[in-house]
């Protein structure tokens, strides 16, 4: 059965600088209609989860607590907190100051089956730039700051850590204005104040830290570490489900892992997982073969926390084979971003670009790098387990008219940030979602 997409938006970022302005799209709400297409359901741990499809046309994003609101006309408003990773540094590393942006939005879900034009589709999710908070900067990612006195016993004493923290890959906004974020190269988890000052640092187990062949921490991305950081971590994107487990990610037809770029807490032991290939606009190829928001459960998985697997000398999968002492998480496919029918409803497509000479417009290709997930309640009393699943792409600052650190650049192509919103049924998620958004 084919699900239905609900909303979409493309956010063009053509000028990248310390104080840039993002375009404003005017909001025009219209009443929503009942979904016209059948949903796709999966079972995990005896619970049925439903993908009802796309409702609308960055890197990490979260909904700001206290901003989510349903309007009388069927639309919704709120504020997204979004976080770019490291600036335009495809050629070489730059001194990019980490930051987070706030974007106000109006979501007007589209439930009809008729295909919208690309221009009309963007009106289902109107975005307006609001604010930017600048954080820590640093040039040398291989530099290391010594551990503070009390590290390991005092939670406010920082461990040994990288000086540069600009490759941000996770985000959780707190009700008091503080927020948690993670850094790919550490990979560490950080707590920041609302105005961008570092409060606390959490170091992961030794098995995840990037050690070189001599046993020294080496946070650079220019060379792969001897141990640790084998795959991009998503630790700070999640909520407090206890235990650590091993997740078996999907494989391509050639046996390559479809690596995860985000995980998001759903309910105790259950998570959403954004697994994807590198194809799409701005990627290694046009044709997307796997780009999903899937589900996994660690309910029956082996908890490896506090075991020998915390040490790099005891890998969970020596020579690529999972240890027989470990039961992995249960993983199921859920939301397919590249469903052709759903993309067409919002003027998008998968595959080579189609150019219409008569109008001189292009049917936009779905972006390659999708790296964020967020949930908000639909508020339908007849479907209390229904949620909007927000997701956004990372454009790597690819622009032919970019400005970085005051210097213009041409990356050879223009890749806009894209935002998608799906409607999904997630039993057991209500309490956590409402608490995260300050609704209870």
What is the rounded distance in angstroms from the CA atom of residue 380 to the CA atom of residue 358? 43
Two structure tokens written together for 62: 């979260």
Confidence of residue 242 (pLDDT cuts 50, 70, 90): very low
The pTM for the full model equals 0.84
pLDDT digits (tens, 9 = 90+) for 190-201: 888 998 888 888
Tell me: pLDDT of 438 over 60. Answer: yes
Q: Which of 32-36, 74-78, 209-213, 405-409 has the highest mean pLDDT?
A: 74-78
For every residue of 76-113, DSSP letters joined together read EEEEEEE---S-S-SSS---PPPEEEEEEEEE-----S
Burial class (CB in 10 A: 0-12, 13-18, 19+), 335: buried
pLDDT digits (tens, 9 = 90+) for 291-311: 999 999 999 999 988 899 888
For every residue of 185-217, DSSP letters joined together read SS--EEEE-TTS-EEEEE---TTTS-B-TTS-B
Tell me: pLDDT of 278 over 80. Answer: yes
Output 144 or 366, whichever has higher pLDDT.
Answer: 366
pLDDT digits (tens, 9 = 90+) for 422-431: 999 999 999 9
pLDDT > 90 fraction of the chain, expressed in percent and rounded: 32
What is the rounded distance in angstroms from the CA atom of residue 8 to the CA atom of residue 346? 7
Mean pLDDT of 156-162: 74
The predicted pLDDT at position 363 comes to 56
The predicted pLDDT at position 74 comes to 94
């Amino acid at each position: 059965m084919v699900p239905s997409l609900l909303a979409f938006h493309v956010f063009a970022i053509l000028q990248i600088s310390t104080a840039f302005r993002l375009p404003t799209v005017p909001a025009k709400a219209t009443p929503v209609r009942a979904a016209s297409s059948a949903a796709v359901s999966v079972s995990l741990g005896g619970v049925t989860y439903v993908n009802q499809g796309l409702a609308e046309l960055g890197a990490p994003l979260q909904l700001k607590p206290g901003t989510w609101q349903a309007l009388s006309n069927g639309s919704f408003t709120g504020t997204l907190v979004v976080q770019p990773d490291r600036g335009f540094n495809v050629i070489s590393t730059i001194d990019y100051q980490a930051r987070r942006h706030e974007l106000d939005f109006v979501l007007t879900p589209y439930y009809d089956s008729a295909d919208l034009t690309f221009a009309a589709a963007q009106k289902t999710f109107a975005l307006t730039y609001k604010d930017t908070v600048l954080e820590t900067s640093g040039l040398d990612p291989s530099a290391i700051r010594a551990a503070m006195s009390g590290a390991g016993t005092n939670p406010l004493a920082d461990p040994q850590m990288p000086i540069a923290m600009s490759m941000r890959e996770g985000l959780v906004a707190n009700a008091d204005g503080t927020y948690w974020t993670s850094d790919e190269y550490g990979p560490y988890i950080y707590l920041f104040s609302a105005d961008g000052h570092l409060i606390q640092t959490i170091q992961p187990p030794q098995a995840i830290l990037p050690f070189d062949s001599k046993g020294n921490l080496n946070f650079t991305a220019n060379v792969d570490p001897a141990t640790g950081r084998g795959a991009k971590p998503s630790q700070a994107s999640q909520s407090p489900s206890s235990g650590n487990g091993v997740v078996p990610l999907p494989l391509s037809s050639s046996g390559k892992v479809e690596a995860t770029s985000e995980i998001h807490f759903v309910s105790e032991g259950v998570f959403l997982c954004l697994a994807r290939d590198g194809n799409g606009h701005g990627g290694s190829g046009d044709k997307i073969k796997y780009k999903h928001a899937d589900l996994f459960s660690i309910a029956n998985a082996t908890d490896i926390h506090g075991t020998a697997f915390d040490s790099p000398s005891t890998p969970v999968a020596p020579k690529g084979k999972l240890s027989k002492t470990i039961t992995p998480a249960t993983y199921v496919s859920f939301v397919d971003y590249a469903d052709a029918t759903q993309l067409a409803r919002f003027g998008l497509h998968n595959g080579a670009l189609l150019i219409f000479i008569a109008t001189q417009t292009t049917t936009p290709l779905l972006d390659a790098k999708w790296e964020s997930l967020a949930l908000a309640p639909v508020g339908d009393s007849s479907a209390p387990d229904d949620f909007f699943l927000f997701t956004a792409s990372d454009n790597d600052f690819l622009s032919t008219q970019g400005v970085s650190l005051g210097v213009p650049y041409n990356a050879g192509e223009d890749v806009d940030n894209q935002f998608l919103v799906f409607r999904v049924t997630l039993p057991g998620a209500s309490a956590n979602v409402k608490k995260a958004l300050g609704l209870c």
